[in-house]
Structure 1
Amino acid sequence: MISKALERREKLRLELIKAAERMIAERGLAGLKTRDLAREIGCANGAVYNLVADVDELVLRVGSRTLHRLDEALSAAERAGEPSPQEILVRTAIAYCDFAAENLELWRALFEHRMAADKVLPDWSVNDQLQLFRHIYQPLARLFPERGQGELSITARSLFSAVHGMVALGLEQKLVAVPLPALRKEIAGLVRAMLDGLAAHGA
């Protein structure tokens, strides 16, 4: 009896997360309303908080689903062509750009969401985020085997920040917007230039 109740609760919880995902995709993070979600999944507004602790957890759960899909897209890009670490990094950077363009509001929500200063990100959410850095870290480790883990971690974050910045500005729906084919080309050029610079600096 208890297991059936838990099963029903888990099913409703997944429906809530999926409904929140659809709502963010359509309206953006600011458009997420628990009252609308409750109506969509057929429960009382207050019952939403029997399924998740608060809106922060709900947004993080949606973010976790987004990050897992991004992980799959980056993994597919790694396998899709030449196995050299340089080209893997170029392909994953372009795949990141394409994923952001195709999932714009969900991707934005990953970076727009802010928790209260006294709240700590749960371990599962931190792990979801850190897992993605292997797509940058591992090819860099092959390119620069003489570098230590700490140095490679900083380089991986710097490379991500550069690509992310280009994507964020390039997809901005204002004066700085860049056509997607041109943005892909610029990102590929940036990654190659950064890797060439790192190699020259190391030499």
Structure 2
Amino acid sequence: MTKALERREKLRADLIQAAERMIASRGLAGLKTRDLAREIGCANGAVYNLVADVDELVLRVGSRTLRRLDETLSAAETAEHSPQQMLVRIAIAYCDFAAENLELWRAMFEHRMEADKALPDWSVDDQLQLFRHIYKPLAALFPERGTEELGITARSLFSAVHGMVALGLEQRLVAVPLPALRKEIAGLVRAMIDGLIRASELAASPD
């Protein structure tokens, strides 16, 4: 790699890290390319020599957030727990990560691409990779289910937990104290899994 390319890559990394800090402190609406350019020491227009547009910049920050979330969920997975306990631990770990990284976590869901602009493959892959944390214990609980059915169940379970986290962490009247939110999320996951197990038993019953 030439010196010029090395400098560009370093400046690009600095830009993404500065954007991450800015979103963490100001929220997604507070992300300003002029302020970023000033912080990393380049002209405002030079930002777009480092990333294609603001969409790419936000998605790059999102990928960094997803990697840290992936590490958090991996740390919650331990062999001594049952699949149902594992799902509860993963859900609570997700809640805690969101609470500790609130603006970065929100930015991943608040960011909107233009209607005719597709997410790049690398961003889609980063997002889908996280579903393995849910998919694996579900596959252990329901070995008779196919890949597609397990995938739908995994997305449904995530949607339920995510909705509770999103509403519970709202800094408005619907906000729920974090200890209570953890307890409610654990109860929701257990109830959903118990219901799915019961439904599978009924479906398998000859009566």
Superposition TM-score tier, normalisation by shorter sequence: over 0.9
Residue 54 of structure 1 corresponds to which residue in structure 2? 53
Moved more, 81-90 or 29-38: 81-90
Pairs within 5 Å for 1:79-158 = 79=78, 82-158=80-156
TM-score where L is the length of structure 2: 0.96
Q: Which runs of 5+ in 2 are unaligned?
A: 202-207
Amino acid in the other structure paired with 1:171: L
Percentage of matched positions with identical amino acids: 85
Instruction: Point out 4+ residue stretches in structure 1 off by more than 4 angstroms.
Output: none
Pairs within 5 Å for 1:1-203 = 3-79=2-78, 82-203=80-201
Partners of 2:129 and 2:88 in 1: CA distance: 19
Partners of 1:93 and 1:4 in 2: CA distance: 45
Q: State the shift of 1:165 in Å.
A: 0.3
Q: State the shift of 1:85 in Å.
A: 0.7
Q: 3-state DSSP class of the match of 2:119?
A: coil
TM-score where L is the length of structure 1: 0.98
Whether the 8 Å contact between 1:82 and 1:88 is mirrored in structure 2 is no
Partners of 1:41 and 1:149 in 2: CA distance: 46
Q: Which runs of 5+ in 1 are unaligned?
A: none
Partners of 1:91 and 1:160 in 2: CA distance: 13
CA-based RMSD of the aligned residues comes to: 0.8
Partners of 2:107 and 2:137 in 1: CA distance: 28
Partners of 1:99 and 1:88 in 2: CA distance: 16
Partners of 2:99 and 2:27 in 1: CA distance: 14
